Structure 1
């Protein structure tokens, strides 16, 4: 578990499942999906089907973001290529009331610290799209470098957008004391 004032990130638990389903799948067209890869079709699933999914939560890879005891989203990672320790991470703040308030930046800062403290990583990164200005700004605030821009490869609402890949090296993170080693508990 890692904390930053009233916010914490922690491994997801079975008792979190209902809250997570409501945040992610309860609405037919959730607001968060307009920012999180909207070029991919959103498939709403029922509560019963959600419970039947294999590996609904993976306590190593899937953590929740909690503010004052309320789950607002999650952070996760997946291996792009595990033999070379190439990991990609993600974040979702599903409750729009918590957008543009710094919660994403703070949660991702805690998550990056966790990943660098617990895994033999040289680099962490994420992929987003040029229409998600807030996610690009989060990466910049955290000292990430735009490593790739694949031009006009994401099509959404009649417009082509770029795919953006941002990354951060361990030595860059560790050389910034305002980011490194914060929030562990």
Structure 2
């Protein structure tokens, strides 16, 4: 488990399948910000159980976000290219009542700290978003991520072209921050 202020990142418990499934699928406002140009297809409970929930139970690449003892979302990472140690991190806060409270900032501090601590082979953590997600861009920049690239007008959503925004932070840059995260 990872603790940072009022945030806990942890594995999913066996009895949380329905809660997590409902959190993702009942209020899909979050899909307007999390790559909406890809479209969202609601998984069946069985699909969710066999994919996302299994990853959350393993707790390696996916963890549950808990705020004040209530599950509000998930964090994850994936390899863009494991051979070159190119890692990308992500976050989804499903509960829109938790938006605008800087919880994403706390979550990302805890998650990035954990990734650098547990994956000694990486020197950089990336985060990709789109220019339509102003809160994610602000969050990334506020914790030390640098804008490394802007791929112009490659995300088409609701009749408008948006840019893909590539952020990254290096291990030595992250080490300069004194975040008191308990891993």
TM-score category by the smaller chain?
over 0.9
Aligned to 1:169: 170
Deviations 1:54-74 (A, max 9, x none): 873242000011012211001
Q: Is the 8 A contact 1:25 1:46 kept in 2?
A: no
Matched ranges for 1:129-140 at <5 A:
129-140=130-141
How far does the alpha carbon of each residue in 1:125-164 deviate from its partner, in whole angstroms, 9 at most, with x for none?
1100000000000111111100010000000000000000
SS of aligned partner of 1:65: strand
**In 2 relative to 1, CA 49–112 (structure 1 residues): closer, same or farther, beyond 3 Å?**
closer
Deviations 1:19-39 (A, max 9, x none): 221111234xx1000000010
> Corresponding residue for 1:90?
90
Number of residues of Structure 1 aligned to a counterpart in Structure 2:
180
2: CA distance between counterparts of 1:165 and 1:15?
A: 36
When normalised by structure 2's length, the TM-score is 0.92
The answer on 1:48 being equivalent to 2:49 is no
Q: Does structure 2 retain, via aligned residues, the 8 Å contact 1:112–1:124?
A: yes
Q: 1:64 to 1:55 in 2, by over 3 A?
A: closer
| SS of alignment partner, residue 39 of structure 1 | helix
Q: Give the unaligned 5+ runs of structure 1.
A: none
Cα distance, 1:8–1:59 mapped onto 2, change above 3 Å? same
Give the RMSD, CA atoms, in angstroms. 1.6
Structure with greater helix percent: 2
Query: Which structure 2 residue ranges, 5 or more long, are not aligned?
Result: none
Deviation at 1:85, TM superposition (A): 1.4
Q: Which residue of 1 aligns with 2:15?
A: 15
> What is the CA-CA distance between 1:50 and the residue it aligns to?
2.4
